[in-house]
Amino acid sequence: MNGAHDELADFRRDPNRGSKAINDHCRPKFIRWGLENHSINGADLEDLFQNAFLLMMHNIQEGRLTELTGTLCTYLFGVGKNLIRAFLRRHRRTDWLGENTPPESPGNVQVAADISLMSRQTSDNLWKDVEALGEPGRSLLILTYKEGLSAQEIADVMGYASAEVVRQLHKRARRDLLLLKAKKVLDKQSYQILFLFYKKNLSDDEIAEQMGFSGPEEVKDRRLECLEQIR
Amino acid sequence: MDNRTETLLELYYANELSETDAVELRHLLDNDPEAAAEWKWQQQIATATRQMKLEAPAAAPKQPLRILIWSSLAAAAALAAWAVATIFMPQQPTVQEAIASSFEHYPNRMSFKALDPTAAAEVPADVIRAFQLYDDPAQYRAAAEALGTIASKYPDHPEYGFYHGVALLGTQNYLAAADALQKTTLSDGPYRVPALYFLGLAQSGAGRYPEARQSFESYLKDKDGIPYRKKAGEMLKVLAEK
């Protein structure tokens, strides 16, 4: 058993003491290093370190961090560097549309405006559904959409084997979130269509046969209507 | 939705989309209703999650991971307990919710705030600027940075550290807030007791529950621990289950 492993075991035994040691020794080192090497201000570096720490706690608790190759502080630096990389990308975003807006269909500006308005109205409720997803879905979605991490970076900071694993988990989280919302706003038959498509992975053909629709086209139309309703 | 659309959306949200990719994505969104629907959905999730923060795990890892059988039994027991609690007991707020409702802006009690401009000129400009930022809760992040700077620059003023801690707490930067407030609780002066309360909140946010309980209890025991008495008591109730 090496020293690094002991440090992890010590942290598991007494996380309060471990957190304090990290806060006293590792946090200032990380902030100093960040200030010297990146054009990020102290408050943002504090946030990034806090996120690295929270991810480490999740990884320990959920059994994805069971062995250290260095110290806990080295581990936190590794997580923190991924977060910094995403942070810098986010702030140097290529303004390829000329106005730093999401891609919208040419000639379809009204749709984009509707989306924006709808997003503002629904996001207040949607976050509750994201909370209801629990972990790891909650963290995966925040790391993707708020922190701007790629699937590979999320795999690195959350201790998953590969980006592909993250993509699958991400897809599952989005699907579960969609079904959570669908259950609240759709009638039983409409929900059933989405459930069979997203959860049971049935094709439109199979759903048509099972639910007595005229054919896959009708199912597809119904499905897209359902999505319009819940979005 | 095909793999290419998935890839392009992933690149978009990771801010790695090239201009060529962007043209391709726009073309897809125009011509594929499934892709457009998925795009709308992810935009909604993005809007919702941008208001959220990573949080500490529900329970701090107090023990090494148990063997699988134990975990299954524990999970079943926890589920049963949760079901009973959900049906029969009043809902207790989560720690994060409790912190959100217990945190309030500590008023700026700096004497120079009330001074006339001539007298205020005796106070260094960076101090005045830091407290101007602090007076606007929408500026907590900038205030935390400015107050952190003056707290280090003027160590004879422990009160700067206190306001620094409160501003950090306002940005939900719990670890750093606990660090700043801890120092104030060790100093003498009028900020020691309120610092105990805010320290309890910071420690709760950082998942350091036993220490948080201790801080709230110290606050309640102190004869000056009056203004936040009720809130400290409510926090202790929430933390009792942790």
- The answer to the question of residue B89 being in a domain is no
B203/B74: higher pLDDT: B203
| Shortest alpha-carbon distance between residue B173 and chain A (Å) | 6
Q: What percent of chain B has pLDDT over 70?
A: 81
**C-alpha span between B92 and A98 (Å, rounded):** 48
**C-alpha span between A155 and A64 (Å, rounded):** 11
Asked which of B16, B31, B49 is the last residue of a domain, the reply is: B49
Q: Which two tokens stand for residue A178?
A: 């969609």
| Shortest alpha-carbon distance between residue A128 and chain B (Å) | 9
Quick one: pLDDT at residue B81? 44
Quick one: pLDDT at residue B73? 36
Residues of chain A in contact with residue B17, where contact means CB-CB under 8 angstroms, are: 94, 96
B178/B111: higher pLDDT: B178
B108/B173: higher pLDDT: B173
**C-alpha span between B218 and B241 (Å, rounded):** 19
**C-alpha span between B181 and B162 (Å, rounded):** 6
A86/B133: higher pLDDT: A86
Q: Which two tokens stand for residue A69?
A: 């190759």
Q: Is the minimum CB–CB distance between A150 and chain B shorter than 8 Å?
A: yes
Query: What's the whole-number average pLDDT of chain B?
Result: 80
Q: What are phi and psi of B214, to 5 degrees?
A: -60, -40
Q: What is the full per-residue pLDDT of chain A (231 aa) written as tens digits?
A: 445 458 888 898 888 888 888 988 999 999 999 998 888 888 889 999 999 999 999 999 888 998 888 899 999 999 999 999 999 988 876 545 343 444 444 344 444 445 455 555 555 578 888 888 888 999 999 999 999 999 999 999 999 999 999 999 999 999 999 998 888 889 999 999 999 998 888 899 999 999 999 999 999 999 989 888 887
Q: Is the minimum CB–CB distance between A222 and chain B shorter than 8 Å?
A: no
Report residue B159 CA to chain centroid gap. Answer: 21
**C-alpha span between A15 and A11 (Å, rounded):** 5
Residues of chain B in contact with residue A141, where contact means CB-CB under 8 angstroms, are: 45, 49
Residue A135 backbone class (left: φ over 0; alpha: ψ -120 to 50; beta: rest):
beta
Residue of A nearest to B209 (CA): A16
Number of domains in chain A: 2
- The answer to the question of residue A11 being in a domain is yes
Domain that holds residue A61: 3-91
Average pLDDT over residues B9-21: 88
- The answer to the question of residue A171 being in a domain is yes
Quick one: pLDDT at residue A93? 61
Based on the domain organization, do B153 and B232 belong to the same domain? yes
Task: Say yes or no for a CB contact (<8 Å) between A27 and B53.
Answer: no
Number of domains in chain B: 2
Quick one: pLDDT at residue B235? 93
Task: Say yes or no for a CB contact (<8 Å) between B15 and A94.
Answer: yes
- The answer to the question of residue B90 being in a domain is no
Task: Say yes or no for a CB contact (<8 Å) between A47 and B171.
Answer: yes
Residue A206 backbone class (left: φ over 0; alpha: ψ -120 to 50; beta: rest):
alpha
- Residue B21, judged by CB atoms within 10 A of its CB (0-12, 13-18, 19+), counts as middle
Closest to A96 in 3D by CA, of A86, A107, A84, A104: A104
Based on the domain organization, do A126 and A207 belong to the same domain? yes
Give which of B11, B30, B39, B54 to mutate to test A binding, by max A Cβ within 10 Å: B54
- The answer to the question of residue B73 being in a domain is no
* CATH label of the domain that carries residue B193: 1.25.40.10
The helix (run of H) or strand (run of E) holding residue B139 is none
Q: What are phi and psi of A159, to 5 degrees?
A: 75, 30
- The answer to the question of residue B66 being in a domain is no
- The answer to the question of residue A108 being in a domain is no
Task: Say yes or no for a CB contact (<8 Å) between B56 and A57.
Answer: yes
Q: Is the minimum CB–CB distance between A50 and chain B shorter than 8 Å?
A: yes
Task: Say yes or no for a CB contact (<8 Å) between B10 and A46.
Answer: no
Quick one: pLDDT at residue A61? 87
- The answer to the question of residue A80 being in a domain is yes
Give which of B52, B65, B203 to mutate to test A binding, by max A Cβ within 10 Å: B52
pLDDT tens, B87-123? 334 455 788 888 988 888 888 888 765 444 455 567 7
- The answer to the question of residue A111 being in a domain is no
Quick one: pLDDT at residue B62? 39
Closest to B50 in 3D by CA, of A2, A130, A73: A130
Quick one: pLDDT at residue B91? 52
Residues of chain A in contact with residue B64, where contact means CB-CB under 8 angstroms, are: 9, 12-13
- Mark which residues 127-146 of A lie under 8 Å from B by CB: 127, 129-131, 135, 138-139, 141-146
Based on the domain organization, do A146 and A221 belong to the same domain? yes
Q: Which two tokens stand for residue B228?
A: 């936040």
Residues of chain A in contact with residue B11, where contact means CB-CB under 8 angstroms, are: 150
Quick one: pLDDT at residue B59? 59
Q: A–B: how many Cβ contacts below 8 A?
A: 189
Residues of chain B in contact with residue A79, where contact means CB-CB under 8 angstroms, are: none
- The answer to the question of residue B91 being in a domain is no
Q: What percent of chain B has pLDDT over 90?
A: 27
Task: Say yes or no for a CB contact (<8 Å) between B207 and A141.
Answer: no
Is the peptide bond between B124 and the residue preceding it cis, with omega within 30 degrees of 0?
A: no
The 3-state secondary structure of chain A reads CCHHHHHHHHHHHCHHHHHHHHHHHHHHHHHHHHHHHCCCCHHHHHHHHHHHHHHHHHHHHCCCCCCCCCCHHHHHHHHHHHHHHHHHHHHCCCCCCCCCCCCCCCCCHHHHHHHHHHHHHHHHHHHHHHHHHCCCHHHHHHHHHHCCCCHHHHHHHHCCCCHHHHHHHHHHHHHHHHHHHHHHHCCHHHHHHHHHHHHCCCCHHHHHHHHCCCCHHHHHHHHHHHHHHHC
Q: Give this complex's ipTM.
A: 0.82
